[in-house]
């Protein structure tokens, strides 16, 4: 069950067209989450891609992930979570999944069957809930960190050196091939100072959209998580530290992609509000397991 009262069920019938409504976060009300059934036995890795209006960027991303996985030996599944897109994101995923049993669409609607945009945090959480892999990785739909960089994150988890391995653009060894625009970099650095002061000390880049978890750790932490927007990364890292899990920040390659889905005017305010929510939720005991 996802926080917010959502239920999980298998995808059985076609999703209705997405509405033209505003993508503003939606307060708690019934949400139907549908996840196509897993058809992978003994899955080693679940890859989750949250997708909001990604019909243009997704096809090359899905091809890149499939090409990479075809060259690897491990069993895998790919869950693309449609976060209430108003374009044809769902159709793109369905078409790609039609000939690939390891690809699953996760999507959610409101009680009237209309696609809902709930935010990246909600989308990743829905993916984690449906995932069956021993380890779980999530990646942004633009592959700003190339998919092969999972090879930097997964071995330390497999070796037992850490429970969570997160990609970082802020380390000396990080390879920034294409930088974000100056204002985004400044925003990121300022936000990180606030994140470190309020929620997760010692981590220099909480926002990179490429993170890997031991599967059982992801299931436990995301089941406690409450935040739907971009503040979900610090929330998860806060929860990880609260429950004594070891997080390691690792350098990756980063190529900034244009056409960001992030609104530079509203996102910083929303993220600040969500950061304060982390402290507030903790003080209210919402992150204690018995409160779930």
Ligand X SMILES: Nc1nc2c(ncn2[C@@H]2O[C@H](COP(=O)(O)OP(=O)(O)O)[C@@H](O)[C@H]2O)c(=O)[nH]1
Q: Which does 232 bind (CB under 5 to 8 A by kind): Mg ion, ligand X, none?
A: none
* Burial environment of residue 154 by CB neighbours within 10 A (0 to 12, 13 to 18, 19 or more): middle
What the block records as the tokens of 25 is 């976060």
Start-to-end C-alpha separation, the chain: 10
- Please pick, from the candidates 142, 149, 233, 274, the single residue that binds ligand X as defined by CB under 6 A: 142
Which of 33, 35, 50, 163 is the binder for ligand X (CB under 6 A)? 50
**61 and 146 in contact (C-beta within 8 Å)?**
no
Per CB under 6 A, does 205 bind ligand X?
Answer: no
**Tokens standing for residue 191:** 């936000």
Buried b / exposed e over 39-59, threshold 16 CB at 10 Å, is ebeebbbbbbbbbbbbbebbe
With CB atoms as reference, the residue minimizing the distance to Mg ion is: 142
Q: Report the interhelical angle of 89-98 vs 58-70 (nearest 10°).
A: 30
Q: Is 163 in the site for Mg ion (CB under 5 A)?
A: no
CB of 190 to ligand X, least distance (A): 15
Q: Is 124 left (phi over 0), alpha (psi -120 to 50) or beta?
A: alpha
Does 233 participate in binding Mg ion (rule CB under 5 A)? no
Q: Which of 154, 262 has the CB closer to ligand X?
A: 262
Q: Is 140 in the site for Mg ion (CB under 5 A)?
A: yes
Token look-up 């108003």 returns 86
**Of the candidates 171, 174, 180, the residue with the CA atom closest to the CA atom of residue 142:** 180
Answer for which of 43, 47, 141, 143 binds ligand X (CB under 6 A) is 141
The reply on whether position 90 binds ligand X by CB under 6 A is no
Stretch 52-81 residues interacting with ligand X (CB under 6 A):
52, 54
Q: Nearest distance from residue 249's CB to ligand X, in Å?
A: 17
Q: Are strands 210-214 and 135-139 parallel, antiparallel or unpaired?
A: antiparallel
Considering the rule CB under 5 A, would residue 228 count as an interface residue with Mg ion?
Answer: no
Interface with Mg ion includes 142 (CB under 5 A)?
A: yes
Residue whose CB is less far from Mg ion, 54 or 142:
142
Q: Does 102 bind ligand X (CB under 6 A)?
A: no
Between residue 5 and residue 44, which ones bind ligand X under the rule CB under 6 A?
A: 23
Interacting positions 92-131 with Mg ion (CB under 5 A): none
Strand (E) or helix (H) holding 81: strand 76-82
Contact flag: residue 119 with ligand X (CB under 6 A): yes
274 binds ligand X (CB under 6 A): no
Going by C-beta distance under 8 Å and a sequence separation of 6 or more, which residues neighbour residue 48? 79, 81, 124, 127, 128, 131, 136, 137, 138, 139
Q: What's the min distance (Å) between Cβ of 57 and ligand X?
A: 8
By CB under 6 A, name the binding residues for ligand X.
23, 50-52, 54, 83, 117, 119-120, 123, 140-142, 144, 209, 260-262
By CB under 5 A, name the binding residues for Mg ion.
140, 142, 144
């Amino acid at each position: 069950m996802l926080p917010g009262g959502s239920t999980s069920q298998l995808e059985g019938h076609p999703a209705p067209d997405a509405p033209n409504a505003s993508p503003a976060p939606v307060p708690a009300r019934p949400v139907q989450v549908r996840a196509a059934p897993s058809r992978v036995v003994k899955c080693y890795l679940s890859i989750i891609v949250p997708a909001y209006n990604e019909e243009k960027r997704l096809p090359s991303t899905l091809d890149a992930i499939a090409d990479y996985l075809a060259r690897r030996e491990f069993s895998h599944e790919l869950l693309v979570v449609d976060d209430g897109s108003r374009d044809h994101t769902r159709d793109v995923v369905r078409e790609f999944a039609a000939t690939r049993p390891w690809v699953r669409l996760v999507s959610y609607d409101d009680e009237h069957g209309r696609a809902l945009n709930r935010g990246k945090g909600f989308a990743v959480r829905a993916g984690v809930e449906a995932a069956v892999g021993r380890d779980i990785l999530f990646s942004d739909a633009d592959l700003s960190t190339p998919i092969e960089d999972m090879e930097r994150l997964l071995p330390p988890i497999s070796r037992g050196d850490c429970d969570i391995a997160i990609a970082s653009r802020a380390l000396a060894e990080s390879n920034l091939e294409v930088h974000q625009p100056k204002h985004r970099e400044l925003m990121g650095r300022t936000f990180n100072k606030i994140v470190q002061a309020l929620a997760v000390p010692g981590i220099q880049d909480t926002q990179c959209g490429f993170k890997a978890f031991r599967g059982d750790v992801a299931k436990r932490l995301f089941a406690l998580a409450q935040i739907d927007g971009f503040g979900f990364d610090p929330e998860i890292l806060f929860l990880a530290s609260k429950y004594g899990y070891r997080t390691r920040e690792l350098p990756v390659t980063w190529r900034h992609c244009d056409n960001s889905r992030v609104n530079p005017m509203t996102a910083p305010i929303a993220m600040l509000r969500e950061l304060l929510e982390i402290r507030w939720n903790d003080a209210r005991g919402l992150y204690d397991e018995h409160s779930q």
